[in-house]
Amino acid sequence: MQLQKLSLGILIASLSLTGAQAQSLQIGSEQRKAVALTLYNQNLGLVRETRELPPLRSQQEVTLEDVSEQMQVESLRIDNAGQILEQNLNTNLLNQHNLLKHYVGKRLQLARLNPVSGQEVVTEVQLLNIDGNRALIKRNNRFESIPLNNQWRFIYPSLPSNLLSKPSVNFRSVGTSRSQESRISYLTGGLSWGMDYVLTLNEAGNRATLDGRASLTNQTGTDFKNAQISLVAGNLNNPGNARHAEMLQADFAMGAAVRSAPKAMAQEELGDFHLFDLPNKVDLLDGQVKQVAFMNADGIPVDRSYNYEFLVYPTLERNQHRVKPELTLKFRNDQKSKLGLPLPGGKIRTFTPDSKGMLQFAGGSRISHTGKNDEVEIRQGKAFDLSIHRKQTHFSKTFNGFLVGQELRITNTRSTAAKLEMTANFPLTWKMESSSHKYEKVMGGSARWIIDVPAKGDALLKFKVQMEKR
């Protein structure tokens, strides 16, 4: 009798242990001790976090909640949780589309609102298929196609257990003997950053203040609170394979070990890219675009120039061209100009004061990644007070080519002088026969002139070029 009781007790204990092992251990963001994000320019981020884990039994299933739904699962690494035997990313989320897919072939209720009477009629149907914004159903032995809009709605008898309210990661390991902090890292889409600059000119237009803000974007489906954030400037390849992911994680794990939270924006080279650390931890919530201060510089010398580029055809041309040159602002990214740090590429907007001292928007464009001591060019748009009248003054055939003459008259109605950069492109091998102004060869197939145009005056450029057939 005692033996039977003992056997029964062992059986109950064994069943209880089996049930406990089958039950997944939930580890959410509440157990998160620290999180660090590295954001890239091209919809890519590296997530590194630590979470507190209790002792784990061998083969016990652990569910990590509050992870990115765009995780690259092949890049997932879980350390200090025992040797990992298997890991799975679960992104089968509870939404209207997945719920309808689950009930294809099953019976459920269909409710329709009568727009005239305002009453709702509920019938039982079988859902046969979903195609875009229409559903195919069977009702009273008849087959119907109905639109998925606000006049029709399905009533579901229950929610399927395999659909999750938020993404998660499941893993099993050989187990651990004590509580410890586990390190979790992975690459994910849905994280990115970009730069936005504001260039404010002084009244004379020859000096400016440059303010830069980094825009951080989170579309991962989860929140990252109190995160230490690093930004990588540059366009790097992301083949999405596990080896590449391991290399990225190793690089940044090494950097994280020697870096502490800086008091100011820290910058370092990362191979051919640049890494910036934000000075303070921030909350980056799902669906949020957060702007943080990146840089500020005052008293930057700015050069205003005008550009016009044109093609000289080896044909007789009777048309005359009246155009406006492009206005370009330029400054040097060096210490002499109060700068001298790598400037990540991004949008730049220019503001200039009017006669009342109010700032007005004066155009803008995008700048590329600009290294130390490089020049920054900002194309503002078409100049208003400068005009160019271009026409062909000579055309003749020669022994092995053509002789073409051009005349360009530049008119300046501004109260200040202007400097105009003009570039002529030649489709054939060329040799300048004559030119009223000094020029330089550019890339072999072009000639460039710098023309000074006086205030409320004009300037005339005349040249003849010999173009030879190849």
pLDDT band at 26 (very low <50, low <70, confident <90, very high): confident
pLDDT at 270: 66
Pairing of strands 224-233, 32-39: parallel
Question: Quick one: how far is CA 432 from the chain centroid?
Answer: 46
Tens digit of each residue's pLDDT (9 = 90 or more) over 147-189: 888 778 888 888 887 777 777 888 999 999 999 999 999 999 9
Tens digit of each residue's pLDDT (9 = 90 or more) over 295-347: 899 999 999 889 999 999 999 999 999 999 999 899 999 999 989 888 999 99
pLDDT band at 436 (very low <50, low <70, confident <90, very high): very high
Bridge partners for 90 per DSSP: 168
**Where is pLDDT greater, at 256 or 392?**
392
**Where is pLDDT greater, at 230 or 113?**
230
pLDDT at 33: 92
Q: Where are the domains of the chain?
A: 96-155, 303-325+383-470
pLDDT of 89 higher than 90:
no
Residues of the chain with pLDDT > 90: what percent?
48
pLDDT of 265 higher than 80:
no
* 220: three-class secondary structure by DSSP: coil
**Where is pLDDT greater, at 246 or 147?**
147
Per-residue 3-state assignment (H helix, E strand, C coil) for 342-399: CECCEEEEEEEECCCCCEEEEEEEEECCECCCCEEEEEEEECCCEEEEEEEEEEEECC
pLDDT of 15 higher than 60:
no
pLDDT at 4: 41
Tens digit of each residue's pLDDT (9 = 90 or more) over 102-141: 889 899 888 888 878 878 888 898 988 988 888 898 888 8
**Where is pLDDT greater, at 153 or 12?**
153
Question: Which is nearest to 53 in space by CA: 32, 37, 67, 71?
Answer: 32
What are the helix (H) ranges across 126-165?
A: none
Tens digit of each residue's pLDDT (9 = 90 or more) over 352-397: 998 888 999 988 889 888 888 999 999 888 999 999 999 999 999 9
The full DSSP string for 63-101 is EEES--TTB-GGG-EEESSSSEEEEEEE--B-SHHHHHH
Residues of the chain with pLDDT > 70: what percent?
87
pLDDT at 413: 95
96-155: CATH number: 2.30.30
pLDDT at 249: 44
pLDDT at 189: 93
Question: pTM for this structure?
Answer: 0.69
Q: What is the mean pLDDT of residues 220-249?
A: 71
Tokens encoding 332: 């040097």
Identify the CATH class of 303-325+383-470: mainly beta
Tens digit of each residue's pLDDT (9 = 90 or more) over 90-102: 877 778 888 888 8
Cα–Cα distance measured from residue 247 to residue 259, given in angstroms and rounded to the nearest whole number: 19
Q: Are 130 and 103 in contact (CB under 8 A)?
A: no
pLDDT of 16 higher than 50:
no
Q: What is the mean pLDDT of residues 3-29?
A: 48
